[in-house]
Chain A
Amino acid sequence: MNAAQGPEAETVLRLSGITKRFGTLVANDAISLSLKRGEVVALLGENGAGKTTLMNILFGHYTADEGEIEVFGKTLPSGDPNAALGAGIGMVHQHFTLADQMTVLENIVLGTQSLWSFNLGKARARTKIRQLATDYGLEVDPDRMITELSVGERQRVEILKALYREARILILDEPTAVLTPMETEALFATLKKLVAAGLSVIFISHKLGEVQSVSDRVVVLRGGKLAGERTTSEATRRELAELMVGGQLPINEIGPSTPRDILFELQSVSTGSLGGAALKQISMQLRGGEITGLAGISGNGQAALAALIAGTLEASEGDIVVHGEAATKWSPRAALDRGLGRIPEDRHATGMIGDMSVAENVISEAYRSPRFSRFGMLDWRAASVFAQDIITAYDVKCPSPEARVRLLSGGNMQKLILGRALDGDPDIILASQPTRGLDVGAVAYVHARLIEARDRGAAVLLISEDLDEIQTLSDRILVIHRGQLSRPSQRGELSVMELGELMAGHGVEEGAHHAA
């Protein structure tokens, strides 16, 4: 895709020796990077490698402690987003920055005009937006409200916003995280047109496949440092992965499954909404010895389903059947008493109590059992021993059972949650986004434990927005769309694109004949 690029192409952006410290943490350590005209550079790295920090410095949200930024040969004043905008840098954030109750057009012109001008010049703006949209394949109606748009369309608005302001350098922060496979393809097509027109793109990602298909050059960050730089066409996937992780990539072997009895069942269950879609009369069965993966785009009812099974959201109709017995009163306590192990989506808000110690956190589901308390008096020694057991068994990096959970990294927190949820070998396991935000090592660890649980006969429900994860681990795959489920498919039965169609809602509502 390097149409406008050659060895002699002009360098449009140069970062030299950027260092940023937060307290004792060095988020960026002397990072240098250059971008040429018509080039897509992928910034690859795990969560916490310093990618977003670096881009925030470039865009003026943060001030670098050391180093210099040069755009089109001119030094960029630090800490000033307006200067970055003026120099032709446009940024599309992971979380969109759009005003929901305004139209596409209004969002795009917002802030581009003087407060003293009497009209918005909407007609001219509309023509310009239409032109940009057709040129780059960013079709979206300028007069629709943001609330009416899909996530993919909102992202197009963000890109249009940058192009409208004459951006010559576009930074995309994890742009595919919220997209379906089809939308991702469309985005990549747009990027090709942009670089052909002479723009330059920095594409932030931690997904190797994407990086390989979209970029010309890859810059890998690890632990805040520059780990390496490769021309995409000359680098292998393995090489990039090892640069990113800093060593051998842990690989989980997953053998064939041996399905057993149905342990958990939902029968035409509906719920209220929980931010995203509400569940509409869904039925599902979880068998022992199987991992059932639930794929879907964020906000389609995954949160409601997870909360329903965990016991924090009540069903408005339908039955929950555990071990062949309908549960009359369902609650977190009931779920625990019937042997469910639950890994919540949000470890900070739901999973752990940050201001309490490791020991206090790991007993939170079992503190009333005779193991940890008698006559209402807690046995802190037993709690401490249990915490130490989990710390050892799950290789949690923490100073002591008395340490505050807030001080632990996401991966270590997740290991504690795993230890708590898997204590006593539960035979039904709900894992909701269990690897979100974890580094590759921790991801592999979590996967290994889930596979282990499956192999000893537990029924595992894996809810994830990462299609790779779903496809790797799941013996059966369900797709959720607007609160309804597709028919289950077996491992390997459907391609990524076919799953993507289900995720976009083709064939889910109509009884999933298409999928069958």
Chain B
Amino acid sequence: MRLEPRPSSSLTAKFLWPTGAILATVVFSSVLVMIAGASPFTVFWLVIKGAAGSQFAFLETLTRATPLVFTGLAVAVAFRAKLWNIGAEAQLYLGAVMTVVIGTGAVTLPSAGLIPLIMIAAMLTGALTLLGPAVLKTKFGVDEVVTTLLLNFIVLLFVSMLLEGPLKDPTGMGWPQSKRVIADAQLPRLIKGKRLHFGFILAIASAIIVWVIMKKTTLGYEMRAVGHNAEAARFAGIPVNSVIVKTALLSGGLAALAGFSEVAGLKGNLTLDLSPGYGYTGIVVAMLAMLNPLGVIAAAIFVAGIFVGADAMSRSANVPSYIAEVMVATSLLTMVAAIMLMRYRVRWR
């Protein structure tokens, strides 16, 4: 079996392969649903209804999509430059830490000043988190997959330590949680009485800004050039190492915004279960979007919809909501295969 590159992929192929990937995911999940003893049709109908069947459901999906847009963008930006940032989870948590450090009363400013200040501080924290692995990569050739992945565990334990110590809420009845951020540090809700918050708007705006950076600026050009062919980029005089560092700063900053928006927009405080793996799911989102910043919005909503829908489904049908994890993971695998088949043709000798 050999792979031959296709000269070009037609528009239909670009549409058909991803569609096929989604279908394959559905078929595979159906088998599991049947093993669990339910009808796939009922289950998928319940998932769709749970994700988008009512205003409440749809707003919940968008709320869940918000952090995924940020982590998805973080991964998309990094992967574009072939910087394998697997550490969005760590950057998210440290962004959240900075949000509660500043936002719980240490600084008092009106909302219009305080929120941008926290945002910038959180982004810087996330950026610095990824700076270490990026410098190790450019100076010593240390594999960033290893460093960023391991940093996730280090950071999570560090946050755990903070929540048992300096950041622990004295009125929290002993729970490992931080104090709540003050009112001026909170992002407003978009619709009164609903959970969807201003972070969603920030996420959409970030996606558009990142898209502009990638398409229209010299930095985006440098990042793509380095990602596609670092040797040729270096030959042409593009400062490869500095581009990798800049990419790391941007990626880390975006991931940190996920933590900021979850704390300041939704949860109000920092706990160890702030993120159910949004940093890792960001990888799926970025791959489903084929690293396109605007595609990240759609992919994040899609993935969030599966999670929210599966939660609702498991309450009425007797199928565990873990099916959502399976569906998301399967869709990643089938999508990666679809992207490859879009670019290559398989030849059987």
Identify the A interface with B (CB < 8 A). Answer: 22-23, 63, 79, 310-312, 331-333, 335-336, 342, 344, 349-356, 360, 364-365, 367-368, 373, 376-378, 380, 404, 406-407
Contacts and interface: CB of A to CB of B under 8 A. Distances in A.
B225 A377 contact: no
30 contacts: A23-B4, A63-B349, A312-B235, A332-B235, A332-B236, A333-B237, A336-B237, A349-B232, A350-B231, A351-B235, A352-B232, A353-B228, A353-B229, A354-B229, A355-B228, A356-B224, A360-B221, A364-B225, A364-B232, A364-B237, A365-B236, A365-B237, A367-B221, A376-B217, A376-B219, A377-B217, A380-B216, A406-B5, A407-B7, A407-B8
B218 interface: yes
Interface residues of B, number: 24
Interface in B200-234: 216-219, 221, 224-225, 228-229, 231-234
Contacts of A350: 231-232, 235
Nearest to B229: A353
Given A360-B221, A376-B218, A377-B216, A344 B228 contact: no
Contacts of B237: 311, 331-333, 335-336, 364-365
Given A353-B229, A354-B228, A378-B216, A364 B236 contact: yes
Contact of B232 (A353, A367, A368, A380): A353
A341 to B, nearest CB: 12
Nearest to A356: B228
B239 interface: yes
Given A312-B234, A349-B232, A365-B237, A356 B218 contact: no
A133 B305 CA distance: 74
Contact of A353 (B4, B217, B219, B233): B233
A353 B232 CA distance: 6
A364 B239 CA distance: 12
Contacts of A368: 218
A363 to B, nearest CB: 8
Interface string B70-90: 000000000000000000000
A404 B224 CA distance: 14
B246 to A, nearest CB: 11
Contact of B235 (A310, A360, A367, A376): A310
A219 to B, nearest CB: 28
B218 A373 contact: yes
A162 to B, nearest CB: 25
B345 interface: yes
A191 B98 CA distance: 77
B233 A378 contact: no
Contacts of B218: 367-368, 373, 376-378
B238 interface: yes
A80 B10 CA distance: 36
A331 B7 CA distance: 35
Contacts of A342: 235
Contacts of A331: 237
B156 to A, nearest CB: 36
Nearest to A342: B235
Given A63-B349, A349-B229, A364-B232, 18 more contacts: A23-B4, A23-B7, A312-B234, A332-B236, A350-B231, A350-B232, A353-B225, A353-B228, A353-B229, A354-B228, A354-B229, A355-B229, A360-B224, A364-B236, A378-B217, A378-B221, A380-B216, A407-B7
